[in-house]
Amino acid sequence: MSYRLEVAFNLRHAGSLTELRDEVMLIAENYGCEHSYIDIEFQGRRRTVMRNHVVMILYFPEDPKRVINFLNFIKKNRQLYIESIGFDNCTFTLLYASKLYLNMMDKYKKKEYLENKKNIKNEDFKKIIKAIS
CATH of the domain at 31: 3.30.70.120
- Residue 77: CB atoms within 10 A of its CB come to 14
* CA 3 – CA 40 distance, rounded (Å): 21
What confidence tier does 50 reach under pLDDT thresholds 50, 70, 90? low
* CA 121 – CA 118 distance, rounded (Å): 9
Q: Which domain holds residue 85?
A: 2-132
Mean residue pLDDT across the chain: 82
What confidence tier does 79 reach under pLDDT thresholds 50, 70, 90? confident
Q: Which residues contact 47 (CB under 8 A, 6 or more apart)?
A: none
pTM of the predicted protein model: 0.83
What is the total count of domains within the chain? Answer: 1
15, pLDDT greater than 70: no
What confidence tier does 119 reach under pLDDT thresholds 50, 70, 90? confident
